Amino acid sequence: MSAPAIIGDDVALRSRRRIAVHLLPYVFLMYVIAYLDRTNLATAALQMPHDLGFDYRVIGFGAGIFSLGYVILEIPGTIIVERWSARRWLTRIMISWGLVTIGIAFVRTPHQFYAMRFLLGLAEAGFFAGIIVYLTHWFVYEDRAKAVAGFMAAIPLSYAIGSPISGLLLGVHWGGLHGWQWLFIIEGMPALIFGVVTWFYLTDWPHQAKWLPPDEKNWVINQLESERRAKKSVRAYTVWEAVRHRDVLILTALHFVQNGSAYALAFWLPTMLKRLSGLSDFRVTLMVALPNLLGFVAMQVNGWHSDRNAERRWHTAIPLWITAATLLVLSMADWGTVPSLLLFSIAAASLLAFLPSFWAMPSAFLCDSAAAMATGTINCIAAGLGGFLGPALVGYQAARTHSFRSAFAVLVVALLFAGFLPLTVGVRGRVVAPSGAD
């Protein structure tokens, strides 16, 4: 009687491992490329203002306006991935954002700069939430949190790897173009190349996967179908009811503050370190790698500890309070290069440590299409409004006061308040979108 169970367990293990090995490294690489093209402006800002005559207001507004373009197509993009084709849509996203990134190298006026950053947001919209939805097409429920954690590890590593590379590119002067121009041109190329690769490499659904043996293919199809049938017995909500759910609204506000603070810190950190240290552009980008390497470790540790204790709320709240405390200290005085770098590292690492426990919270009360729509909504508002206001606010304050310290005070208040929000989230049943409800 035990032989079938052993065979079944073997097929399940092989299937889950093969899917993880085939998909996770590739979507991780896609996200690294996305973050390089989204954030390389932070390094380019070490040269662009001088060459183009832009002040901090222009750079900050251009950094933020990316997020307004992102908002417009984020939720529609998620629905396209769910109902049409992740492979086709992600291919379109990567090729278009690669072309726009290269185009930024040739801007000359603030309005051209704003337009290209807005188009970059439009081009990339739907990528993050689309990948989250795509992973649900392949990974069974008990593997999804680990899959998302592996995917999101690209955030700190892309900064840590990309900053020194971007710093080296600032020193390139070929064909009469400045280093910051070559930065955008060269870092836009991988999106074009891997956009084409994505068309041939990704598979939309398990039943289309020629790289899965028949027994493994049948196992994952049957497992996902069993999960879908099991959810029919759960109380159902429409997608519109899900996005109006009290806890979804709380999580949206929470991520709005965290994302705005994270974008502000990530974008302006090279400029702040440059002003503090007076070091070369390349050495500044090496310094930027430290907070992100520390952030990668903090993400893994906080996520592991949260899973081990089956606790999400405090693991989400405490990192925000730690960030607020470090920014408060930074706002009180000029601490010098090394102490400031240490404080910035703690602040950045804490904001990244927030992510694993936060994104585990929605899945406690949302599933299926309702979860996909709510994930898109949370990320849309957080990445859109938060991603716009954070860098723009810091840039405005820095230009007005000639110091970044006053902007830190605003972020401290917002983060202290946001830290209380996860403590108010209460799971009161699972929210499921029934067939046809979305």
CATH classification at residue 368: 1.20.1250.20
Q: CA triplet 225, 310, 300: central angle to 5 degrees?
A: 90
- State the total domains in the chain: 1
306 with 315: CB under 8 angstroms? yes
Residue 74 lies in a domain: yes
Once rounded to an integer, what is the mean pLDDT over residues 93-98? 92
Is pLDDT at 56 greater than 60 in this prediction?
yes
183 with 166: CB under 8 angstroms? yes
Judged by average pLDDT, the poorest of 17-21, 221-225, 391-395 is 391-395
Select the highest-mean-pLDDT range: 3-12, 129-138, 239-248: 129-138
Confidence (pLDDT) at 370: 62
Is pLDDT at 109 greater than 90 in this prediction?
yes
Select the highest-mean-pLDDT range: 95-109, 125-139, 237-251: 95-109
Of 95, 91, 69, residue with least CA distance to 80: 91
Confidence (pLDDT) at 367: 58
Burial class of residue 229, CB neighbours in 10 A (0-12, 13-18, 19+): exposed
Residue 305 lies in a domain: yes
Burial class of residue 183, CB neighbours in 10 A (0-12, 13-18, 19+): buried
Q: What is the pLDDT of residues 217-266, one digit of tens each?
A: 999 888 888 877 665 554 455 556 666 778 888 888 898 888 888 888 87
Paired tokens of 177? 């173009």
Confidence (pLDDT) at 114: 94
Query: What are the counts of helices (DSSP H) followed by strands (DSSP E) for the chain?
Result: 19, 2
Percentage of the chain surpassing pLDDT 90? Answer: 22
Is pLDDT at 45 greater than 60 in this prediction?
yes
Confidence (pLDDT) at 399: 76
Rounded to the nearest integer, the mean pLDDT of the chain is 81
- CA–CA dist 173, 431 (Å, integer): 55
Residue 438 lies in a domain: no
Of 281, 312, 234, residue with least CA distance to 51: 281
Is pLDDT at 104 greater than 90 in this prediction?
yes
Pairing of strands 366-367, 431-432: parallel
Judged by average pLDDT, the poorest of 91-105, 359-373, 394-408 is 359-373
Q: Which residue is listed with tokens 């390497």? A: 293
At residue 432, the 3 state secondary structure works out as strand
Is pLDDT at 436 greater than 50 in this prediction?
no
Instruction: Find the DSSP H helices in 278-386.
Output: 281-309, 313-332, 337-360, 368-381
Q: Which residue has the higher pLDDT, 390 or 419?
A: 419
Q: Which residue is listed with tokens 């593997």? A: 143
Residue 320 lies in a domain: yes
The CA-based dihedral angle spanning residues 208, 209, 213, 215, taken in that order and rounded to the nearest 10 degrees: -50
Count of C-beta atoms within a 10 Å radius of residue 227: 14
Residue 345 lies in a domain: yes
Of 136, 91, 65, 150, residue with least CA distance to 391: 65
Cα distances (Å, whole numbers) of residue 166 to 121, 169, 283, 349: 20, 5, 11, 21
Of 76, 63, 21, 17, residue with least CA distance to 380: 76
Residue 334 lies in a domain: yes
- CA–CA dist 36, 259 (Å, integer): 17
Confidence (pLDDT) at 101: 93
Cα distances (Å, whole numbers) of residue 114 to 46, 59, 72, 98, 184: 18, 9, 16, 17, 15
Q: Which residue has the higher pLDDT, 362 or 59?
A: 59
Confidence (pLDDT) at 381: 75
Is pLDDT at 311 greater than 90 in this prediction?
no
Q: CA triplet 23, 28, 34: central angle to 5 degrees?
A: 130
Count of C-beta atoms within a 10 Å radius of residue 334: 11
Count of C-beta atoms within a 10 Å radius of residue 222: 11
DSSP code at position 204: S
Its sign, for the CA torsion 241, 247, 251, 252, is positive
Domain that holds residue 407: 2-432
pLDDT band at 43 (very low <50, low <70, confident <90, very high): confident
At residue 366, the 3 state secondary structure works out as strand
Residue 94 lies in a domain: yes
Is pLDDT at 339 greater than 60 in this prediction?
yes
Residue 437 lies in a domain: no
Is pLDDT at 181 greater than 90 in this prediction?
yes
Cα distances (Å, whole numbers) of residue 351 to 307, 344, 371: 18, 11, 23
Judged by average pLDDT, the poorest of 29-38, 333-342, 374-383, 385-394 is 374-383
Q: Which residue has the higher pLDDT, 141 or 123?
A: 123
